[in-house]
Amino acid sequence: MSEDMTERQFRDTETGLSNVFDFESLRALTPARLELRRAGPAPSTAERLRFAADHSLARDAVRRPLDARSLLVVLETIGIEAVEVRSRACSSSDHLLRPDLGRRLDPKDLVRLAGPTETAWVIADGLSSGAVERYAPRLLSAVGGVGRAVVVHHGRVAIGDEIGAALGASLSIVLIGERPGLSAAESMGVYVTYGPAVGCTDAQRNCISNIRDGGLAPEAAAELLSEMVARARREQRTGV
């Protein structure tokens, strides 16, 4: 290939056939990195700056603490009473380096959980606190009928198992910030577990991911979640 791909012209050296690629139209369909501009053998300055900016957003998403106070206020405005708790991870570093601590609730907070309840709704910061602050209220509002929720600092998916068991719930639903990428720093996932108990594995859950503007809209995710919950109760199981 003698020609630069940034010229949008690819010529097959064997057949002599050429094909013109409309990369601008493709770029409009996805935030993925397509047709990176080059300056000689290296990425162009604009591409390098865009990469650095996206990388910074991803790092900030992981490190940014959950603004639970503001989140609780927003939840209250949509009729949801929420309690704030913490995992056994005492710091952001613990949360990142010791995932096992993020899967268990701080023993002091167990007494703050008021049960019993059929469904345990859990909102955990995970690896993107901004994602749940932005999208959890929208999803819960679209679902409707959510009276109470538990907001967790430094939580991992499995913390919903302990919370669900403590509340005597038959189903736990965890809304959590997903691991950020270069094209999506704020993306939320939802994990549904039937019969939550400490020690459940990911094979026992169902998941809806990529909930964000530019991905799966929270309102659309709410419809999928309602169907998932109905099936879980009907079949009395989740997972594979």
Give the pLDDT confidence score for residue 46 in this predicted structure: 84
- Residue ranges for the known binding site are 157, 178, 207
Kindly tell me if the per-residue pLDDT of 17 is higher than 70: no
The percent of residues above 90 in pLDDT, for the chain, comes to 70
| Cα R_g (the chain), whole angstroms | 22
Collect all residues with Cβ–Cβ distance below 8 Å to 159 and sequence separation of at least 6: 87, 102, 103, 104, 105, 122, 124, 152, 174
CA 225: distance to chain centroid?
Answer: 14
Q: For the segment 36-75, what is each residue's pLDDT rounded down to a tens digit? A: 777 788 888 888 888 888 889 888 889 899 999 999 999 9
Q: For the segment 163-209, what is each residue's pLDDT rounded down to a tens digit? A: 999 999 999 999 999 999 888 889 999 999 999 999 999 999 999 99
- Residue ranges for the known binding site for adenosylcob(III)alamin are 157, 178, 207
Average pLDDT over every residue of 88-114: 95
- Let me know: does 204 contact 180? Beta carbons within 8 Å: no
| Domains along the sequence of the chain with CATH | 63-235 (3.40.50.11240)
Give the pLDDT confidence score for residue 38 in this predicted structure: 79
Collect all residues with Cβ–Cβ distance below 8 Å to 144 and sequence separation of at least 6: none
CA angle 225/205/57 to nearest 5° reads: 75
CA angle 189/190/196 to nearest 5° reads: 135
Give the pLDDT confidence score for residue 7 in this predicted structure: 41
- Mean pLDDT of the chain, nearest integer: 89
